[in-house]
Amino acid sequence: MDAVEAPSPPSQPPSHFSQQRHFYVAVDRLQFKMETLVDLLGVAGRRPCLPMAVCCSSRDELDAVCSAVSNLPYISLAPLYSDLAEAERALVLEKFRKATMNWIKNISVQPGDDSEIGKEEQKSLMIVVTDVCLPLLASGELPISARVLINYELPTKKEIYMRRTTTCLAADGIVINMVVGGEVVTLKSIEESSNLVIAEMPISISEIL
């Protein structure tokens, strides 16, 4: 998809996305969507220490994602539920921020020199969140800065798309939008109104990590 030149919204200049890359994965049918996600994670999740975020629009879909991913041995799962106590929420967010630090440390060490990072910490960490549970920047919470943000459910509004990106994605991160059927129209609208380029993801996600 080619972005259409459009005035940037005053509250969010396009420079925010200047180093981020946006992709989409077209899924033929809704029933194949979860299988496609697990396939993606089967590659991305094996990258040591990779911090990932998966955004859903509903609690039901969050639960479904957690159920499908919970048995993957190379991913440490961190669901961010709306009914978590404040202290528990803070622990989940802090754990994820530590994972981003491990990722930075991991990519800076020489191959094979992983003695400073424990085996458990070598796992990818995936936080799963709905829109109501995104980090509250206005309340002092910090962005979680995931390397990869997967929009398992595509938001219907540009503002939600941008909020997910602002609160969840690192400055040089990657967004992967999972699109089914008629959602292509919604994706195109987000692309044009946000002055983004959302390209089709390569066959293998490893090409963009």
62-71, 90-99, 107-116: range with highest mean pLDDT: 62-71
What pLDDT, in 10s, does the model give residues 41-59? 999 999 888 999 999 999 9
* Tally of CB atoms within 10 A around 88: 12
What average pLDDT score do residues 11-18 get?
42
What average pLDDT score do residues 8-23 get?
57
Separation between Cα atoms, residue 64 and residue 178, nearest integer Å: 15
- 184-196 burial by CB neighbour count: b if 16+ within 10 A, else e? eebbbebbbbbbb
Q: How many residues does the chain have?
A: 209
Mean per-residue pLDDT over the chain, rounded = 86
Check residue 7 and give its pLDDT.
36
**C-alpha closest to that of 165 among 125, 155, 9, 85:** 155
More confident site: 158 or 4: 158
CB 180 within 8 A of CB 29: yes
CB 146 within 8 A of CB 173: yes
| Whether residue 200 has pLDDT greater than 80 | yes
Question: Given pLDDT bands bounded at 50, 70 and 90, which one contains residue 107?
Answer: confident
More confident site: 16 or 196: 196
- CA dihedral of residues 114, 119, 121, 122 (deg, nearest 10): 60
**C-alpha closest to that of 151 among 196, 104, 107, 101:** 196
| Whether residue 8 has pLDDT greater than 70 | no
Separation between Cα atoms, residue 39 and residue 195, nearest integer Å: 30
Domains of the chain: 15-107+122-207 (3.40.50.300)
Please name every residue paired with 176 in a beta bridge, in sequence order, or none if there are none. Answer: 23, 150
CB 76 within 8 A of CB 126: yes
**C-alpha closest to that of 24 among 131, 161, 123:** 161
CA atoms in the 13 A half-sphere facing the CB of 183: 20
More confident site: 101 or 37: 37
Check residue 119 and give its pLDDT.
59
Beta 124-130 vs 21-27: how paired, if at all?
unpaired
